[in-house]
Amino acid sequence: MKKLMALLLVLTMAMSVASAFADDAKVLHFGEINPKVGYDPQTNTNSRATTIEECVVEGLYFWNDQNEEIPVLAKDFPTISEDGLVYTFSLREGVYFSNGTELTSEDVKYTFERMFTPATGALSTYMYNMIAGAKEMLAGEATELSGFEIVDKYTFKITLTQPFSCFTKNLGIVYAAIFPKDACEAAGSDWGIGTLVGTGPYILGEHDNSSVTLNKNPNYWGSEPHFDQIIVTLFDDENTKLLAFENGDLDLCQVPTDLYLQYQGTETANKFHIYYPLGTVFLSLNLSEEFNGEKNPLADVKVREAISMAIDRETLVEFIDNGLGTVATGTVNPAQLGFVQREAYPYDPDGAKALLAEAGYPDGVSFTAQIRSTDQPDMVQIQSDLAAAGIDMKLELVDAATWTSLRNAGNAQCEWMGWFPLYADPDNNIYSYFHSSNAPGKSVFYNNPEFDALMDAARISTDDEERGDLYAQADEIMSRQDYACIPLYYPNYVFAAQDYVTNFTVGNLIYQICYDVDFK
Amino acid sequence: MSRYLLGRVFQAVGVILAISLITFFILNVIPGDPVQLMMGEFATPEAIAQVRAQMGLDQPIYKQYFGWLGNMLRGDFGVSYFQHRPVLDMLLNSFGYTARLAVFAYVLALVFGLVFGILAAVFHNKFLDRLLMTLSIAGVSAPNFWVAIILQIYFGLTLKWFPISGAKAFNYYVLPAVALGTRYAASISRITRTSMLEVTKQDYMRTASAKGVHGWMLVMKHAFRNALIPVVTVAGTDLGNILTGSMLIETVFTIDGIGKLMVDAINQRDLPLVQGGVMYIAVICVVIYLLVDILYAVIDPRIRLGGGAEG
């Protein structure tokens, strides 16, 4: 009996110590929609997973929430040879991964070689495949990256096959996060699933399909993380996520546009904050001459201009998107390099009809938009606008997988698209979408040598002022003369934050919860 | 009996194989190429072809099927395309959540369904009968995701009695079990009442009554037992439905169960996971129907298994 009492006493004490620790721990509860992918930044590009990955792994550089690039694992920005081909990097010394191994040039080399090994299935190789030897590795013709030279433990050189002014910018995206060679090799296919080790401020703790626990990295090389733990609760339903916020279970979470209005006038709405990410919402059009074996009216620039004229963007933003956006005047976002304040696109249904007649379609045109359920509110409104101008846009509702396949195979005719760059440079979103070398994979088929030449020139130039001019000209041609897409609006993000949450802001697609955010 | 059972087991294996074959072929013809989805929109056709070959998806479809079947019989259901985890592990993990939710919901459905059904039959055409049947109509008609949201708002947000999402402890399952079990409780109560009323008109009930059996003894021993066959049919089907997961309830309450796993897998074209999930559902359904058939004979000795009357 005495033994039992003693055991109970010890247990009680242990529990009270544990609960005291739990009570004192500073924990950020963040609500997120379940990304349903692993957490290997090389094999997924899901922005919701990226938010979590960025707490654990770091790259050579980092784009912060003010859209500034800062050196992280690199000591400084690289020195670049005069021909723009050879980059020399110096690593920050004395940085350790959370498993206790020191970061060296070997880890960086390993990370890039893993990325270009076909079996890895890395998704973002297009951002880094200008490194010499990358294409050979991707083709399975080489197992070593010839353009990567280790100078010493903390210094390495990367040689490119062609000058590329955004190379360092691309290194600031988490897709180029540096992994510890030994741990990553040992984890094998479990990397990003059960195991993820990095130099970041938090260590991946218990995680499953319901939540992810991130524990403070006590040996973090940078300034001390603000929280002992970040617990990311994963939801499948936006409504439930907001109920959890209202219930006080969450400190911070994103608010979807369609639920924003529902909360207006409530106390919760006072905790909503609006942010301006870098993206643009547009109608993506297939410009090929034929579609499904028939003449494609969208190949005619006058038809595309008529579509633009027929859409009432003000109404779309105000009533369908609850005012959460700014009417677009081009595809480059106001916060991006190369943005020029232009006049609004005219809204003129009669003018649209006249343009159609001029294009040889006096009785109007007909085409089909392939849409997902989430695209429906905007697209139904646009359909009604277009109908008033004699343009029959049929809506074909498909599931997300079918939609992606149709689009990638070049078999989509028109889609609603929200396209966000990862940093404030149009190379990351305009080049990747509209340059003729990329356009077919998006069912776009835009091919204007003048536009391509401007985009290519901007890739080589290292002068940001000149690059801004080149992008402004390219956007003018693409969005205002060729109507290669129909820009609609620059969307907003809304987040709900409890009153005691401070220093949270959103600069680009990926929101950061592990650096500045704190409690009052 | 044993011959009948053996026959039914062979039949069940045949059904499962047929389902696996049909699912495999359907999954291979629906739009949405999994390799393209995995590789993203910047992948070159060469890279896509390379990965397709690595995954064996360039093989003729019959070879893929027999390869998958052979592996499955050895307990290897493959690896999820998107979560890169063994499918069997994922199914077992989700089964844990679904099974817990199912047990709570089913116990609730059986207890309330049978009690309400019996009470309604006993108090036929009285106030209690009308009240319970009105409630049961509401229970059958109300969409369970709506019930779920109402429960979340009232018992979670307003009264703060129960957590509104997750599955960390017993109390997390209360609201989802009520939301999921309501409809089944309602349908079981209706079928119990109807069946009981049918039985009470039988001659043997009058005989029992004339012999002096009265009250709850008459109801439970003579009426309820004989009214059980249709109840078992409905309750058995309901158990199959509950155990194969409720996507809506699991989604609303963020429970990582089989239903949600399957829907996500279908949306992502995660073919090994869908195929594994369909196998799980097929096995559960086949086993439950088999058990229901056997239970018929236990409850009603007039039904003799193997006599051609098993239906």
Q: Tens digits of per-residue pLDDT, B257-279?
A: 998 898 888 888 888 999 999 99
Interface membership of A48 toward B (CB under 8 Å):
no
The answer on A376 and A413 residing in a single domain is: yes
Q: Are residues A421 and A355 in the same domain?
A: yes
Tell me, yes or no, whether A41 lies in a domain. no
Chain A closest-CA separation from residue B254 CA (Å): 6
Confidence of residue B1 (pLDDT cuts 50, 70, 90): low
A46 located within any domain: no
Chain B interface, mutation test: which of A189, A237, A245, most B Cβ atoms within 10 Å?
A237
B165 to A235: CB separation less than 8 angstroms, yes or no: yes
Task: Determine the Cα–Cα distance for residues A87 and A93; give it in Å rounded to an integer.
Answer: 19
Residues A9 and A90 in one domain: no
Query: pTM value?
Result: 0.84
Of B47, B254, B269, the CB nearest to A138: B47
pLDDT of residue B266: 87
CA gap B296, A198 in Å, rounded: 60
- Retrieve residue B250's tokens: 């699991």
Name the residue with higher pLDDT: A487 or B307.
A487
Q: Do A236 and B32 touch (CB under 8 A)?
A: no
- DSSP secondary structure letter of residue A299: G
Choosing among B39, B41, B81, B266, which should be mutated to test the A contact, i.e. which has the most A CBs within 10 A?
A: B41
Residue A152 forms part of a structural domain: yes
CA distance B113 to B235: 10
Give yes or no: residues A330 and A429 share one domain. Answer: yes
Q: Report CB contact under 8 Å: A243, B152.
A: yes
CB contact under 8 A, A38 and B33: no
Chain B contact for A249 (CB, 8 A cutoff): yes
Q: What is the CATH number of the domain that holds A89?
A: 3.90.76.10
Q: Which amino acid is at B256?
A: D
How far A384 CA sits from the closest chain B CA (Å)? 29
| CATH number where A294 lies | 3.10.105.10
pLDDT confidence tier of residue B303, bands split at 50, 70 and 90: low
Contact A193 B38 (CB under 8 A): no
Judge if A184 and A207 occupy the same domain.
no
User: According to the model, what pLDDT value does residue B41 have?
Assistant: 66
How far away is chain A from the Cα of B18, in angstroms, using its nearest Cα? 26
Domain limits, chain B: 2-73, 90-299
A206 in B contact zone (CB under 8 Å): no
Who among B40, B93, B252 is closest to A123 (CB)?
B40
User: A15 and A95: one domain?
Assistant: no
- Residue A61 domain boundaries: 56-194
Split into its structural domains, chain A has a count of 3
Q: Flag whether residue A350 sits within 8 Å of chain B, measured between CB atoms.
A: no
Residue B228 or residue A144, greater confidence: A144
- Which of A194, A217, A252 is the last residue before a domain boundary? A194
Question: What's the pLDDT at B305?
Answer: 54
CB contact under 8 A, A139 and B43: no
Last residue of a domain, which of A141, A169, A194? A194
Q: Which residues of A touch B33 (CB under 8 A)?
A: 405, 408-409
Strand partners, A70: A62
Residues A431 and A293 in one domain: yes
Mutate to test the interface with A, among B48, B84, B253 (most CBs of A within 10 A): B84
pLDDT at B245: 67
Chain-chain contact of A404 with B268 (C-beta, under 8 angstroms) = no
Write the residue in B82, B149, B254 that is nearest to A37 by C-beta: B82
Distance from C-alpha of A493 to C-alpha of A507, rounded to nearest angstrom? 10
Residues A403, A297 share a domain? yes
Q: Which residues of A touch B269 (CB under 8 A)?
A: 401
Q: Which residues pair with A311 in a beta bridge?
A: none
Mutate to test the interface with A, among B42, B55, B89 (most CBs of A within 10 A): B42
Residues of B in contact with A406 (CB under 8 A): 31
Residue A346 touches partner B, C-beta closer than 8 Å:
no
pLDDT at B285 over 70: yes
Pseudo-torsion of CA A138, A139, A141, A142, nearest 10°? 0
B289: exposed, middle or buried (Cβ count in 10 Å: 0-12, 13-18, 19+): middle
Of A140, A167, A194, the position where a domain reaches its end is A194
User: Does residue A45 sit at the B interface (CB-CB below 8 Å)?
Assistant: yes
Mean pLDDT, residues B122-137 taken together: 90
CB contact under 8 A, A237 and B252: yes
**Distance to chain A for B29, nearest Cα, Å:** 12
Q: Are B277 and B172 in contact (CB under 8 A)?
A: no
| A327: three-class secondary structure by DSSP | strand
What lies within 8 Å, CB to CB, of A3 at 6+ separation is none
Buried b (16+ CB within 10 A) or exposed e, A293-328: eeebbbbbebbbbbbbbbbbbeebbeebbbebbebb
A235 touches chain B (CB under 8 A): yes
Residue pairs between chains A and B whose CB atoms are closer than 8 Å:
118
* Cβ separation A400–B149 shorter than 8 A: no
Q: For residue A368, what pLDDT is reported?
A: 97
Of A37, A401, A441, the CB nearest to B267: A401
For residues A278 and A67, is the Cβ–Cβ distance under 8 A?
A: yes
Residues A423 and A292 in one domain: yes
Shortest Cα distance, chain B CAs vs residue A403, angstroms: 8
Intervals of chain A under pLDDT 50: 1, 4-21
State the smallest CA–CA distance between residue A34 and chain B in angstroms.
9
**What is the structure's pLDDT at A23?**
61
CATH architecture of B90-299: Orthogonal Bundle (1.10)
| Interchain CB distance below 8 Å, A247 and B164 | yes
Contact assignment for A139 to B153 by CB distance below 8 Å = no
Residue B254 is nearest to which of A140, A236, A405, comparing CB atoms? A236
Q: What is the pLDDT of residue B212?
A: 74
ipTM above 0.85? no
Q: Which residues of B touch A123 (CB under 8 A)?
A: 39-40, 42-43
A339 to A212, A251, A345, B43: CA distances (angstroms) = 38, 35, 15, 29
Q: Clarify whether residues A206 and A185 are in a common domain.
A: no
Q: A398 and A301: one domain?
A: yes
**Which of helix, strand or coil describes residue A472?**
helix
Tell whether A287 and A260 lie within a shared domain. no
**A131 vs A129: CA distance, rounded Å:** 5
CB contact under 8 A, B93 and A442: no
User: Which pLDDT does position A19 carry in this prediction?
Assistant: 44
Give the pLDDT confidence of A323-342 residue by residue, as tens digits.
899 999 999 999 999 999 99
Is A240 within 8 Å of chain B by CB?
yes
Q: Which residue, among A514, A505, A512, A510, has the nearest Cα to A216 in the 3D structure?
A: A514
